[in-house]
Structure 1
Amino acid sequence: MRPNALGRTIAGLVAVAGLAAGSLATAGTSFAAPAEAPQTSVGARSAAVLATQNFGLNTAEAKNVQEFLAQYWGYTDSIDGQLGTNSWKAFQRCLKQYWGYTGAIDGDPGTNTIKALQRLLKADYGYTGAIDGVAGSGTRAAFKRFAA
């Protein structure tokens, strides 16, 4: 009888742990996501747009950057004016070779990518701010000059 009681105790603990984990998972996502909406191609397109980071460039300026990246840094995606992951991977290759970027070539224009971009912009495009990794108004204005 004792082994059966032990088995039921273990089964009960596993069930409680499973319920608790499920509750925590649900609680974590319930605050992050709004009410469920049907997934459409428009929703997928919005997610793709959110994955781009043009840092103030309009579509024509971003296309200029992509053409530069295609010509010199191995960018092979479409020239669409949306600086997404592959655009930033190509830019990181440039920044790694010439402007002190030491991070991964991952396409994420994070702090280290922006610092290297700021060094490039300071050298040739009139950026006068700090090399701080923040894409503020000075960085954005110099990036526009780069893209022109």
Structure 2
Amino acid sequence: MRTLTRTLVSATAVAGILIGSLAGASSGFAATEVAAKPTTEPAASAEAVSPLAVDNHGLSTGEARNVQCWLMDNWGYPGPLNGQLGTESWKAIQRFLQADWGYPGPIDGVPGVGTDRALLAFLAADYGYPGPFDGVWGPRATVSFKRFAAWCAASC
């Protein structure tokens, strides 16, 4: 009886492996066929993959709106005046920093280390940021950025 049980279990296992292999093979062939078809359309548009994150660098919505008013008046920010420093706001900030504060990076709307380093230099010159200039945003940078935002209120 024990031998018969082992034989049945072994036969069932072999049958399961064979059925699983055949099912996997048919799926593999179908996937290969679909992947082989050429496509001429992109998977997503450039707008769909552009950065959309908001980074106010510690500013309130009202303070960020003040900065946006100044950017709109001086650096080609297209709007809206919503108090959310998103991609278009940061592009305008980068244009300003590139023109006047040595920002060497791309105008991509992403506030990275290079953007922050140039912004910190600007804030040190006019709004009391004491350093360091390592491109790392901290509480002292936020205080200086808030001073700048208060000055920008005259643009709104």
Task: Return the TM-score normalized by structure 1.
Answer: 0.67
Match of 1:109 among 104, 108, 111: 111
Larger Rg over CA atoms: 2
User: In 1, distance between residues paired with 2:79 and 2:143?
Assistant: 26
Residue 52 of structure 1 and its aligned partner are, at CA, apart by 0.4
Residue number in structure 2 paired with 1:95: 97
Residue 58 of structure 1 and its aligned partner are, at CA, apart by 0.4
User: What secondary structure, in the 3-state scheme, does the structure 2 residue paired with 1:117 have?
Assistant: helix
Residue 77 of structure 1 and its aligned partner are, at CA, apart by 1.6
User: In 2, distance between residues paired with 1:144 and 1:137?
Assistant: 11
1:84-139 deviation line (CA, Å, top 9, x unaligned): 00000000000000111000000000000000000000000000011111111111
| Higher RCO structure (Cα 8 Å, ≥6 apart) | 2
Query: For structure 1, which runs of at least 5 residues remain unmatched after alignment?
Result: 1-11, 19-46
Q: After TM superposition, which residue ranges in structure 1, 4 or more long, deviate above 6 angstroms?
A: none
Residue number in structure 2 paired with 1:125: 127
- Over the matched positions of the two proteins, sequence identity in percent amounts to 53
Counterpart amino acid of residue 136 in structure 1: G
